[in-house]
Chain A
């Protein structure tokens, strides 16, 4: 490894690194290392002048290897690889020493930090000597897109890709699209009716020839990589022939289970039968048979009233699960949120006291097509005279979720307005902090304040029953006083939580979740739409709680990511892969069974293992197990790793 010309560049990152690590000392000492011909420190290596410095040194000083000691390679490795290429060197002749995330940001002692930074630089210099140029693989992109979840974010993404002329497979777990937004009545801050703005989009989804919609369906398997995913989808039987069903609802009227099962769409405020139409504007507007409650499907015994009632003979109990397979280039994940179950916070009496409801139930109540035809009513059918709205139920609470659910302040203000609009009731809002951050939000809050709503700054601590009336207990922190306020109706504005099956979905797609359970983005600020798996994008509340404008914006952003790779027609994929040295392979087959992608086969003629480069993803598990050291992993080979270990421990 002699005769190499290595350039070392130590980045100050302003004061981010230099404030803790003595960068000039690191550069000075790195200059003494074997093979290093240039060693410099500079304020911002990722800036234009920083990159130009590398390019110029490659050309003028004939560098053939480069070490950049800066931030995490997960952040800027692509940047510096491009800089090397700009100077005429292969990008893989770069090694980064992570002296920001792994040193300056986590170490208090400056001397210790400088010592550790130097150790990491030594490791990088040692390692880079063994680097080989690698050509990045380019693969064609399938121009279809898979969108998982047909709430507002998924619908927005699907429509945008489809309108650009490309195929979309839209997969929805429920029997209808629209997600949580379809249940809303009005939307803040403009009080647009949710159905009025959502329904046209839902209809567009149903009519767009580029969108293939699969309801009652779930993604069960994802194979492949960016540009070339193969997705397996399981479609549950609806027991309704979609071609024939007109959505007339005759089966729902006939079903002998009619008015006996709590209706999910109305959040349990109304009852339905086992055959039912989810809601009047449902897309697709087709009847549904609930296999958990249908007497024929559960007990094999029924009068078949629905079958007799259906004039179109659309009911078919012989339907089975169908498995579909799609090839797509990218995947947009928009699976939304679950509402925090207020029963988990028993102090609020949800499920115990009548007239304690959650926000979605209130939405259904105020919705003209909802269970009370838009009237705000107590269980006894009368109008409430006073209403309490409690913020942050399950959010900003160490016991449940630490995060702020973002939308509840504004929806609470909207609820207060709706109560004032529909009734003569007094309204009390219990809030910790009022967060009205969006366009037109603060103005809406001011307007509702003027409507005479009482805003009490203090977290609603408990809902109790006294003399047959509900009482909300709270500390009014502005008055410095404990208060008990008797009310007729309590609306709990509960947290937005990750879907219960988020873990399973993350595993199916091979993506990560953040500590709060929502799907993890590549970078919280600069890359909030992509995941760490290339070609899989996020939209809407599955990434974090957000309101409708933000969900729509992220849906569009995810669509444009997908359209961008379709427009390029090809993507670069990681060239890191394993290969077998035929002369060393003993044909023991250990690697064959270890490969998670079945990329390794034993060549029956030569009796040596062979790795299919198109399938190999470069994890290196085979190389780690090969007893004869015959398997090499490009860029993560033993020579490189051992040299690095020697360097960092020196």
Chain B
């Protein structure tokens, strides 16, 4: 692993709390590492495994998902769905050989700019310790990502019921 490894982190942030919190870090001129690239969703409940797998496929070394604190969700309880989904995603990542430390799910409110900066700082540091995510050809990620994303259409086409998936 190279000495000056700079991890690439994808941040998926909800519009109402965490994206606003990241904006506040900006308006407060708090400095944090430039390793994170932020994508906005309306609610953290929108974050499905596909997005996270896609990030690793595209060369991310870590993925951060952040929503409103439980009880503060702009959409009543979308973040609770996120909370429920998080351990399942971690388990899925472990199964396909991605260290669970590479995926982090946190709560950042619109007033927690400082906290957001610190989370990014910490995550960059942690991922620097475990090194870059080296995707091997033909490893489980591609297969699973393909299955999760593409096969859904086939499922529908064959009229098979998908009730066993996690929600």
Contact = CB atoms under 8 A, between A and B. Distances in A.
B26 A513 contact: no
B152 A628 contact: yes
A511 B44 CA distance: 17
Listed residue (A73, A105, A506) with the most chain B CB atoms within 10 angstroms of its CB: A105
Nearest to A590: B167
A646 B58 contact: yes
Interface stretch (A83-91, A386-394, A635-643): A635-643
Contacts of A645: 10, 39, 51, 54-55, 58
Contacts of A106: 25-26, 29-32, 34, 117
B67 to A, nearest CB: 11
B155 A644 contact: no
Given A586-B159, A646-B54, A649-B8, A619 B42 contact: yes
Contacts of A589: 163
Given A512-B17, A596-B78, A619 B156 contact: no
Interface stretch (B90-98, B99-107, B108-116, B134-142): B108-116
A621 B81 contact: yes
A636 B46 CA distance: 9
Contacts of A586: 155-156, 159-162
Interface string A510-527: 101111000010000000
A583 B163 contact: no
A107 B42 contact: no
Contact of A514 (B8, B72, B111): B111
A576 interface: yes
Given A512-B110, A648-B10, A619 B34 contact: no
Contact of A621 (B15, B50, B75, B162): B75
A115 interface: yes
A426 B10 CA distance: 64
A617 B162 contact: no
A65 interface: no
Nearest to A108: B31
A588 B162 contact: yes
A512 B20 contact: yes
Interface string A347-369: 00000000000000000000000
Contacts of B22: 101-102
B48 A624 contact: yes
Nearest to B165: A627
A596 B73 CA distance: 11
A628 B54 contact: no
Interface size range on A against B: 35 or more
B146 interface: no
Interface in B118-165: 149, 152-153, 155-156, 159-163, 165
Contacts of B60: 649
B34 A532 contact: no
Contacts of A597: 75-76
Interface in A508-546: 510, 512-515, 520, 532-533
Interface string B56-82: 001110000000000111111110010
B53 to A, nearest CB: 10
B31 A107 contact: yes
Contacts of B112: 515
Contacts of B155: 586, 627-628
A584 interface: yes
A9 B95 CA distance: 43
Contacts of A75: 23
Contacts of B37: 116, 119-120, 123, 648-649
Contact of B45 (A103, A503, A620): A620
Given A72-B26, A512-B109, A533-B74, A98 B46 contact: no
Nearest to B163: A588
Contacts of B46: 619-621, 623-624, 633, 636
A479 interface: no
A587 interface: yes
A532 B156 contact: no
A74 interface: yes
A636 B41 CA distance: 7
Given A102-B26, A512-B72, A590-B163, A642 B51 contact: yes
Interface in B1-27: 8, 10, 15-17, 19-20, 22-23, 25-27
Across the A-B interface, give the 3 residue pairs with the lowest CB-CB distance, nearest first: A101-B26, A627-B162, A620-B46
7 contacts: A72-B26, A98-B23, A102-B23, A513-B111, A623-B48, A638-B50, A648-B10
Interface of B: 8, 10, 15-17, 19-20, 22-23, 25-27, 29-32, 34, 37-43, 45-48, 50-51, 54-55, 58-60, 71-78, 81, 85, 109-112, 117, 149, 152-153, 155-156, 159-163, 165-167
Given A513-B111, A624-B85, 6 more contacts: A72-B23, A112-B34, A512-B20, A515-B111, A597-B75, A645-B10
